[in-house]
A and B are shown apart, each in its own frame.
Chain A
């Protein structure tokens, strides 16, 4: 492959001097303007380096003439968004949560804002889909320990459940029937049998009949004579299909023996009023939200108790 530059006769152009199996390459000159275009890109690049941060250093790039920064860009975009949202926040602060359903647009904004806040503050326990986990209620379903209307949810979020040292918090405590010696292990087994008949998981038996009497004596005061629970004290309904800690024999026995003491923070200590309102709207929108503004009252429960009858043992289901 000898270096043989020569003039190609038909085109009058010099070859580059390489030859492969008789194929040669013409050294066609580049147009001059192409060269100027290249110089222009070089000038542009130098200008860019001067104007924008380009050269990496140990402590980030030098700021450049324009002092441009992607962080500042983001911050200004966030600030702009915040100021855009100001009127929405003001409207939400001024609107009582019970009035929200009458304002569908504001409601939708509250739900959107609540969904974002939920991802930050609530998913750690309730899960990103609000489906909960053992001991942490599923917020999608139609079972509410303390009530599922907008105002009640807002209060639950604001004041929490069993938040130590917070006067407004929702308080109740189930006795540890086994640990404190109120019931003997055999009696607890009977109570468990009875509780499981309430939700139809077991058929009636001698054990469950013994358990019924124990339930009436020990549990009905909170869970109601028919086991339907009470929202005033957060006592779960024992007759339904939803079990916060589990509905199998072993788990219910554990619950009765040691009791349960689920705690939720009082979010008013950490979050502003509007965020809590938005969170309540979001949780309410998940599918289980109740329309009724008033929680189930005690007299109604009494009436229920009169018509139905049974009694039984404790469980913190929900």
Chain B
């Protein structure tokens, strides 16, 4: 035990500190089971999602969730997002940020303790470690044992298993970016794009290193979240708390029996430290290394049950309640802590952005028009004195089917227009019809001609309406320059 300092943040003096391995002990309890459940759910979502199919017709991919970087489309079930609609994704990211604030002010670092990929994969890797090397004590023995065939064999087995999982993790990632069955086939036959192999390699190595070796170092030194956390926490945030007023002075069971009343409930069995995945001692109070995974609560409750003392020596307690308890006052009911102005404000903000995004999603048009006036030359004088302006018109058909649309001009009553490629001034009119490819932008050069002496600068608009739609979808305001 002396080789293994129980507290990672108790650093020896000096400029650099060697990482001290953490050998968390297996534990069972409410929170451990919750962690299992969350691990199963999150990993299932991660691995299964790319394989879900979703019928979108012949002109779009049939993968339910697909980030199609090559064609700049993002598919999520019934939602298709084009690059110019990226604000929806940005909104989701803002929601995720505020969601973290909400979660933090309500239940503390629950994200760190249960759902963070670093936590989930580290947990998985530790589980495998226990299966190969045995529990905490066996792991420590093996760590201290000299290198020999047995140790090498075990290390190779453990690392191979880790690598296999890491490969599976990195491998699953790429399926979000291409058709999963096809990519799987190509990947196995060595014909996939080199970026796929590079991505898998990088993610395999980061998973292997972060989950197998870096572990709590990522949380303590690399992740910015613990720093943001200190600003997000308040006296009503849930923290994993050691009830020192109940536990101290700590002493062994024998001492407690010898001096009843003089020794607290903590029997100094060190189980809370033994199970901690980041290797801290929660009895020192709140600290940056605590990811509030609550495994120490499970461990302590087990011990309290065994020695017949009340559970909850280590427990989720808010800072405020801790002070009240010490002063012998009644604590705040849970719902009052959860539904306080701060969490409500975060929730309103979070929900408001969510509603706004839903509204934006529901009201967005799937057919739109934009036009750019030629700047050089701004206008062209025709031989009969009329003025011609040219516009680059872009028609965006965001539906996965070909559509026939009509573009109509409103304003400048004397003017007429035609499409540069196919029309002519003789065949000019107030509107034209054109066929649009599915899920594509159609670019047209449109000429507008207006007779001489029809005023100076005039405003008009182009609107687009699909033939199978009773209403125009979109309108673009433009200017006709006459140079007069």
Contact = CB atoms under 8 A, between A and B. Distances in A.
Given A143-B383, A241-B382, A242-B383, A129 B374 contact: yes
A127 B375 CA distance: 13
Interface string A272-301: 000000000000010110010000000000
Contacts of B384: 240-241
B349 interface: no
A29 B11 contact: yes
B16 A28 contact: no
Contacts of A30: 15-17
Nearest to B385: A241
Contacts of B420: 285, 287
Contacts of A127: 376-377
Interface stretch (A11-19, A68-76, A248-256): A11-19
A104 B217 CA distance: 62
A13 B13 contact: yes
Contacts of A207: none
A131 interface: yes
Nearest to B376: A129
B447 interface: yes
B217 A33 contact: yes
Interface string A113-144: 00000000000000111110000001011110
B19 A33 contact: yes
A287 B380 CA distance: 9
Nearest to A317: B383
Nearest to A14: B13
Contacts of B15: 29-30
B447 A287 contact: yes
Given A241-B452, A287-B388, A291-B424, A35 B16 contact: yes
A237 interface: yes
B381 A241 contact: yes
Interface residues of A, number: 34
Interface string B210-228: 0000100100010000000
A140 B385 contact: no
A138 B376 CA distance: 12
Contact of B18 (A32, A143, A237, A242): A32
A286 B154 CA distance: 75
A34 interface: yes
A14 B382 CA distance: 85
B313 interface: no
Interface in B1-60: 9-19
Contacts of B13: 7, 13-14, 27, 29
A129 B377 CA distance: 5
B425 to A, nearest CB: 8
B17 A141 contact: no
Interface string B418-440: 00110011000000000000000
A32 B19 contact: yes
Contacts of A142: 382-383, 425
A97 B160 CA distance: 67
Interface residues of B, number: 33
A12 B16 contact: no
Nearest to B383: A240
By secondary structure, the B interface counts as loop
B390 interface: yes
A56 interface: no
B340 to A, nearest CB: 30
By secondary structure, the A interface counts as loop
Given A30-B16, A33-B19, A33-B217, A13 B11 contact: yes
Contacts of A22: none
Nearest to B425: A142
Contact of B381 (A27, A29, A104, A141): A141
Contacts of B221: 31, 34
B380 A138 contact: yes
Contacts of A240: 383-385
Contact of A128 (B17, B376, B385, B421): B376
Nearest to B389: A287
Interface in A1-59: 7, 10-14, 27-35
Nearest to B386: A241
* Most A-side CB within 10 Å, residue of B16, B421, B425: B16
* Most A-side CB within 10 Å, residue of B9, B12, B377, B388: B377
Given A31-B17, A241-B452, A287-B390, A11 B381 contact: no
Interface string A130-165: 110000001011110000000000000000000000
Interface in B369-420: 374-377, 380-385, 388, 390, 420
Contacts of B424: 291
Nearest to A36: B16
Nearest to A107: B421
A131 B19 contact: no
B383 A141 contact: yes
B377 A138 contact: yes
Nearest to B17: A29
A128 B378 CA distance: 12
B11 A140 contact: no
Given A13-B11, A30-B17, A141 B376 contact: no
29 contacts: A7-B13, A13-B11, A14-B13, A30-B16, A30-B17, A31-B16, A31-B18, A31-B19, A33-B214, A33-B217, A34-B221, A127-B377, A128-B376, A131-B376, A138-B380, A140-B388, A140-B390, A141-B381, A141-B382, A142-B382, A237-B383, A240-B384, A240-B385, A241-B383, A241-B452, A242-B383, A285-B420, A287-B388, A291-B424
Closest 6 CB pairs of A and B: A129-B376, A131-B377, A240-B383, A241-B385, A29-B17, A140-B380
Given A31-B217, A241-B382, 19 more contacts: A11-B9, A13-B13, A14-B13, A29-B13, A31-B17, A33-B214, A35-B16, A129-B375, A129-B377, A138-B377, A138-B381, A140-B380, A141-B382, A141-B383, A142-B382, A237-B383, A240-B385, A242-B382, A287-B420
